[in-house]
Amino acid sequence: WAGSRRPGRNFLFVPGPTNVPDRVQRAMVVPMEDHRSSSFPELTLPLFEDLKKVFKSRDGQVFIFPSSGTGAWEAALTNTLSPGDKVLASRFGQFSTLWIDLAQRVGLDVEVQDEEWGRGADPDRIEEALRADREHRIKAVLVVHNETATGVTSDVGAVRRAIDAAGHPAMLYVDGVSSIGSIDFRASEWGVDCAITGSQKGLMLPAGLGIVCVSPRALAAAKTAECRRCYFDFADQAKANATGYFPYTPALPLLYGLRESMRCLFEEGLEQVFARHRFLADGTRAAVKAWGLTLCAQDPKWNSDTVSAIMVPEGINGAEVIDIAYRRYNMALGAGLSKVAGKLFRIGHLGDLNELMLLGALAGAEMAMCDAGIQVQPGSGVAAAQTHFRGATQTAEQRA
Ligand code: PLP
C-alpha cells in the first residue's frame, strides 16, 4: 500500500505478546490511585489467590514483580540459591539457553544437558545425572516447560518422577512463560518449587509482570540463600504482600488487567482453555502437514499447543517469509532465533484466539510462503484446518 496507514487489524501471531481481549484492555484504562490506600488490598489479595489456581498450586506463595519473565527467572534463582551452588539444566532452544546464561551470570555452577533443538528435557538423562550426584551437590533442576523458540513442550511430570526415582533432594524450577494459562500446568502435583511466568502470553496482558509461584520448600531455602538480590527479594515482597501491598510502586493498570484476564480464564474454565489450545494447535498442525512441511518438534510427543515452529525448505530464508507476511499482509509471525534463525518461522496460537482468527493467520502464512518461493498449494493448509475445525463442530451438533 502506498500510504502510511495500514487499514484493518494487525494480525498478531507471534508467540507473545498475544492479543489482549477488549474487556481486559478496557479494564486497564484506570485513573492512577494511591497504592497505599486502605482499599487497595481489595484489588490485590484476590490476585494472589486466583494466580495460585492458574498455577494449580495448593500451598505455594505467588509473587508478582513489575518485570517481564526474565525478571521472574532471576527472582527464582537469586532468592533460593547461593553463588557456587550447582544446578542441572536442560538446553534445547533459545529460552533454555538464556535462562542458563542468567544462572551462570548470577554465579551458579550449571551442569548443562544439551538436547537437540526440536527435542525437550530428557527425564532419563536427568535421573542419570542425579543418581551420579551422590553427594547431592545439585540443588535444583531447571526445565523450560514450553520452549517457545522451537515449539517443544517437555513432560514436567516425568521430570518430577525422574527426580523422585533418583531419590535426590534437588528442587524443581520450571519456566512456564509460554505454557501457564494455555497448557495444563500443575505446580503442586508435579512438585514444582519455583514456577515462572510472564503476563504477555497465556495471561493475555501486555508484558510487564513477572510472576513466580514458590513452594514452601523454596521459601524456606530463601532464608539462607546468599545470591545477591534487592529489587527481587522475596522477603521484602512477602512482608508487604501479606497485607495486600507491595514494597514499591506496583504496575497498577496491569494489576487491574490481571484481575480481568483471570476472570476471562475462569469464565471459560481452565480445562476448556487448555482443550481450546490443543484444538487450535491440531488445526495448525493439520495445515503444516497439508503444506508438505514439518515442525521443528521432532516427535508428536514434543508438539507444543501454544506455538508451532515450521521448518522452511532448504534454500529458503524463513526471515523472508516473516518479512513478506509483515509488509504485505500486516501479519506478525515469530522468527527463528539463534541456531534456527532463517530455518523456520513460528505461528503463535495462544491466548485470546479462535478458529477464524487462526484461519486468517494460516491464509496469510500460505500467501507469504508462496511469495517467498515455497511450493505450497494455496488454500491447502487453510482447507486442512477448516476440515479439522468443522469436523469437531459437526460432532458437537450431532451430539446435541
Ligand atoms: N521463557 C520463555 C519460554 C519465553 O518464551 C520467554 C519470552 O518469550 C521468556 C522466558 C522471557 O520472557 P520475557 O521476554 O518476558 O522476559
pLDDT value at position 1?
55
The predicted model gives 152-177 an average pLDDT of 98
Please identify which residue in the block is written with the cell numbers 551462570: 104
Q: Whose CA is nearest to atom 13 of ligand 1?
A: 69
140: domain CATH number? 3.40.640.10
Question: Do residues 318 and 339 both lie within one domain?
Answer: yes
Grid coordinates representing 235?
A: 522477603
299: domain CATH number? 3.90.1150.10
Residues 144, 93 contacting (CB under 8 angstroms): yes
pLDDT value at position 377?
97
Question: Do residues 257 and 281 both lie within one domain?
Answer: no
Question: Do residues 166 and 245 both lie within one domain?
Answer: yes
Residues 104, 142 contacting (CB under 8 angstroms): no
At residue 330, what are phi and psi to the nearest 5 degrees? 55, 40
pLDDT value at position 391?
87
Report helix, strand or coil for 8: coil
CA of 95 to the centre of ligand 1 (A): 7
Question: Do residues 259 and 276 both lie within one domain?
Answer: no
Residues 239, 216 contacting (CB under 8 angstroms): no
pLDDT in tens, 217-267: 999 999 999 999 999 999 999 999 999 999 999 999 999 999 999 999 999
Question: Do residues 390 and 307 both lie within one domain?
Answer: yes
Total domain count, the chain = 2
Residue 33 lies in a domain: yes
Of the three residues 235, 266, 297, the one that is the final residue of a domain is 266
Q: Does the CB atom of residue 102 touch ligand 1 within 6 A?
A: no
Of the three residues 242, 266, 290, the one that is the final residue of a domain is 266
Helices 252-268 and 270-291, axial angle in degrees (round to 10): 80
CA of 103 to the centre of ligand 1 (A): 15
Report helix, strand or coil for 68: coil
- List, in sequence order, every beta strand (DSSP E) within 105-151: 109-114, 138-144, 146-147
d(CA 41, CA 108): 36
pLDDT value at position 393?
53
Q: Does the CB atom of residue 95 touch ligand 1 within 6 A?
A: yes
Residue 3 lies in a domain: no
Give the single-character DSSP code of 300. Answer: G
Question: Do residues 295 and 245 both lie within one domain?
Answer: no
**Could you give the percent of the chain with pLDDT greater than 90?**
96
Q: Does the CB atom of residue 92 touch ligand 1 within 6 A?
A: no
d(CA 162, CA 201): 29
Question: Do residues 48 and 154 both lie within one domain?
Answer: yes
pLDDT value at position 353?
97
Q: Is the pLDDT of residue 171 over 60?
A: yes
Residue 244 lies in a domain: yes
Q: Is the pLDDT of residue 399 over 70?
A: no
pLDDT value at position 398?
57
Q: Out of 14, 144, 148, give the residue to mutate to test ligand 1, the one with the largest number of ligand atoms within 8 Å of its CB.
A: 148
Of the three residues 266, 300, 327, the one that is the final residue of a domain is 266
Strand order in the sheet with 138-144: 61-65, 210-214, 194-198, 171-175, 138-144, 86-91, 109-114
Residue 5 lies in a domain: no
Q: Does the CB atom of residue 206 touch ligand 1 within 6 A?
A: no
pLDDT value at position 5?
87
Strand pairing partners for 63?
Answer: 212
Q: Which atom of ligand 1 is nearest to the CA of 98?
A: 10
Residue 6 lies in a domain: no
Question: Do residues 259 and 172 both lie within one domain?
Answer: yes
Residue 113 lies in a domain: yes
Residue 236 lies in a domain: yes
Question: Do residues 33 and 103 both lie within one domain?
Answer: yes
The amino acid present at 307, given as its one-letter code, is: V
CA of 331 to the centre of ligand 1 (A): 21
Q: Is the pLDDT of residue 207 over 70?
A: yes
Residue 43 lies in a domain: yes
Question: Do residues 283 and 353 both lie within one domain?
Answer: yes
- Write the DSSP string, 224-247: T--S--STT-HHHHHHHHTTT--S
Question: Do residues 79 and 144 both lie within one domain?
Answer: yes
d(CA 10, CA 264): 23
The predicted model gives 206-213 an average pLDDT of 98
Q: Is the pLDDT of residue 400 over 80?
A: no
- Write the DSSP string, 339-393: GGTTTEEEEE--SS--HHHHHHHHHHHHHHHHHTT----TTHHHHHHHHHHHHHH
Mean pLDDT over all residues of the chain? 97
* Rounded alpha-carbon distances, angstroms, from residue 137 to 128, 160, 165, 335: 14, 18, 17, 38
pLDDT in tens, 1-28: 567 888 999 999 999 999 999 999 999 9
Question: Do residues 352 and 221 both lie within one domain?
Answer: no
pLDDT value at position 45?
98
CA of 39 to the centre of ligand 1 (A): 33
pLDDT value at position 395?
57
Q: Whose CA is nearest to atom 5 of ligand 1?
A: 148
**Could you give the percent of the chain with pLDDT greater than 70?**
98
Neighbour-count burial of 86, counting CB atoms closer than 10 A to its CB (0-12 exposed, 13-18 middle, 19+ buried): middle
Q: Does the CB atom of residue 104 touch ligand 1 within 6 A?
A: no
Complex prediction ipTM: 0.99
Domain that holds residue 378: 11-18+270-399
Q: Confirm whether residue 346 is marked as ligand binding.
A: yes
Q: Does the CB atom of residue 198 touch ligand 1 within 6 A?
A: yes
d(CA 256, CA 198): 15
d(CA 227, CA 80): 8
